[in-house]
Structure 1
């Protein structure tokens, strides 16, 4: 977006001609103009193609519609792989052989099946958007994807968790670890957390953001004793609005600090996101109902939780296995 004749305009380079296109906007406020700019871009790029919107045009419109949401950045990275293969096609041209050819190309490039599965999933998301935005006529095309690989998530034991937290020398890293493991939240939710969403009197942590800047679900969870003590100490010394702060300001990444703590703890390889999975598995292992775990994780429905963590529930089915023990003669007939 830019300025034109005392107002705002939207402009872009036509991918076919290379020429810049520019349109005056009627909106005067920046917020209204951003919404209008997306509509103009979508309408004009769609009209420019006599055959209908291509995957490239739909993808670009989707990213523009996402605005400053984190997903937009993710889609920009994925697009570097997807668009050279699919960009020139119309939605109705995409079929299973084309998707399988993409899979072969990506495998030859050394990419794992999980990466390919995710990339093609992003393509499906773009097409779903295209249908809602009326850039696609008829049914939304189905994108074939390879089988999702079985997860190899690392789950830390209680002993390893204590070793990890003890190995965090920096106060902000230690607090972040306590919150990550005590709330089962994603790292982004913890780094976004501000003191106005911490209620020490009631013992509640509100991980949600009012601006809905993320599509990932977030929960409102109670504090455990460790989290309450750590938050009380941090609150007394707070220099900013952010719970996780360093030198009086928000922290963009804790990856290096956590990696250093992992190395000092001597617990082997583990990623930050696996701390969320660790917390979820410990909840399920303690017999917490999966419906309650789903709410704790901020999942939109319990099926997501079940699909992700069902393989960690064999102990919960022990009573069912006992019913099928037909060789146990001590059981009543």
Structure 2
């Protein structure tokens, strides 16, 4: 064990030591010299352990443990299978552009789409950045990913919406479809929605699971009259705390039920996420400002909203187009 030294840094305490000729320094949270001594030993031992054994597999499982119970943890259990098969035994400092390109090449040969590969490598980058913030690794390598494919442009027209709403389906599927259309929410937010977050007095639905839970793509949205009537009927027949339920039990997936409804409606290439996209497109076509659409969608800022949906607005670039109408009559004074 090298000699560790406690010093002052940025108005507080720090610990530093030399490792292979390079000085390592870490800010401490301690407020007294006594506390700093104990914390300094913990910091050194944590760094020494991490440097010796922090493989991608170790970091991946630690990250999932911290995110336990969140939708991203479930998703990353699936994306982790190919990632850990390729990167699992490596440390962060052993990952470079060539290992990333080899992963992309192998997954492409397996018939995996570029968008899926992009997501998988993005999750690897997320884990490594988290590990750096947790001081479990010193350096985050650049994770090269294939170009992100353009988003699918499939959305439903009004006649297609009418067909889907009228298609035969179980009451839980019909309610889920109406909720997705009227709130522009992801299917995961709809299936997690509980009655305590449906406010009939204020006509609002809080799609956020909790004050500390996931917020991405979730917002507090008003309910329109059609959705209100559907929810009032569902509330009277409710057997559990969940809005969308089956036989008094919450539902984990509506994949098969939704697919059957879409097929009965004569629709192709339609997934639950298409309904979220459809809602945003129809708001844009109705001339709703991008700022309002962004809030409704639960976007953190309007940049994503504008990039994807601004072109559907009837006023999008119209002034620019008019400025280029060189054939129009001009008043001559």
> Would you say same fold, with TM above 0.5?
yes
1:83 corresponds to: 84
1:240 corresponds to: 240
Shift of 1:188: 1.2
Shift of 1:94: 2.2
TM-score, normalised with respect to structure 1:
0.80
2:329 corresponds to: 330
Pair 1:64 & 2:65 matched: yes
Shift of 1:93: 2.8
1:4 corresponds to: none
Shift of 1:108: 0.7
Shift of 1:332: 4.9
- Once the two structures are superposed, what CA deviation does each residue of 1:39-62 show, in whole Å capped at 9, x if it has no partner? x9x998974565462222222221
Pair 1:105 & 2:106 matched: yes
Q: Distance in 2 between matches of 1:113 and 1:43?
A: 41
Pair 1:281 & 2:310 matched: no
1:179 corresponds to: 179
Pair 1:321 & 2:321 matched: yes
2:265 corresponds to: 265
2:134 corresponds to: 133
Shift of 1:306: 2.7
Q: How does 1:28-177 map to 2 (within 5 A)?
A: 47-48=48-49, 51=52, 53-138=54-139, 140-177=140-177
Q: Is the 8 A contact 1:283 1:293 kept in 2?
A: yes
Q: Is the 8 A contact 1:71 1:214 kept in 2?
A: no
Shift of 1:148: 0.5
Q: Is the 8 A contact 1:70 1:213 kept in 2?
A: no
TM-score, normalised with respect to structure 2:
0.80
SS in 2 for 1:316: coil
Structure 1's unaligned 5+ residue stretches are 1-39
SS in 1 for 2:221: strand
Shift of 1:324: 1.7
- Judged with a 3 Å threshold, the aligned counterparts in structure 2 of structure 1 residues 143 and 312 are, in CA distance, closer, same or farther, namely farther
- Judged with a 3 Å threshold, the aligned counterparts in structure 2 of structure 1 residues 166 and 59 are, in CA distance, closer, same or farther, namely same
Pair 1:299 & 2:299 matched: yes
Superposition RMSD on alpha carbons, in Å? 2.4
Q: Is the 8 A contact 1:184 1:277 kept in 2?
A: yes
- Once the two structures are superposed, what CA deviation does each residue of 1:52-86 show, in whole Å capped at 9, x if it has no partner? 62222222221122122221122121111112222
Q: How does 1:182-197 map to 2 (within 5 A)?
A: 182-197=182-197
Q: Distance in 2 between matches of 1:92 and 1:307?
A: 35
- Judged with a 3 Å threshold, the aligned counterparts in structure 2 of structure 1 residues 125 and 297 are, in CA distance, closer, same or farther, namely same
Shift of 1:319: 2.1
Structure 2's unaligned 5+ residue stretches are 1-41
Shift of 1:304: 2.7
Shift of 1:198: 1.1
1:23 corresponds to: none
SS in 2 for 1:221: strand
- Once the two structures are superposed, what CA deviation does each residue of 1:193-241 show, in whole Å capped at 9, x if it has no partner? 1111111122111111116443533111111111011111112222222
- Judged with a 3 Å threshold, the aligned counterparts in structure 2 of structure 1 residues 264 and 43 are, in CA distance, closer, same or farther, namely farther
Q: Distance in 2 between matches of 1:44 and 1:284?
A: 55
Please say which of residues 307-316 and 107-116 is displaced more in the overlay.
307-316
* Aligned residue pair count: 291
Q: Distance in 1 between matches of 2:107 and 2:277?
A: 28
Shift of 1:309: 3.2
Q: Is the 8 A contact 1:54 1:88 kept in 2?
A: yes
Pair 1:290 & 2:290 matched: yes
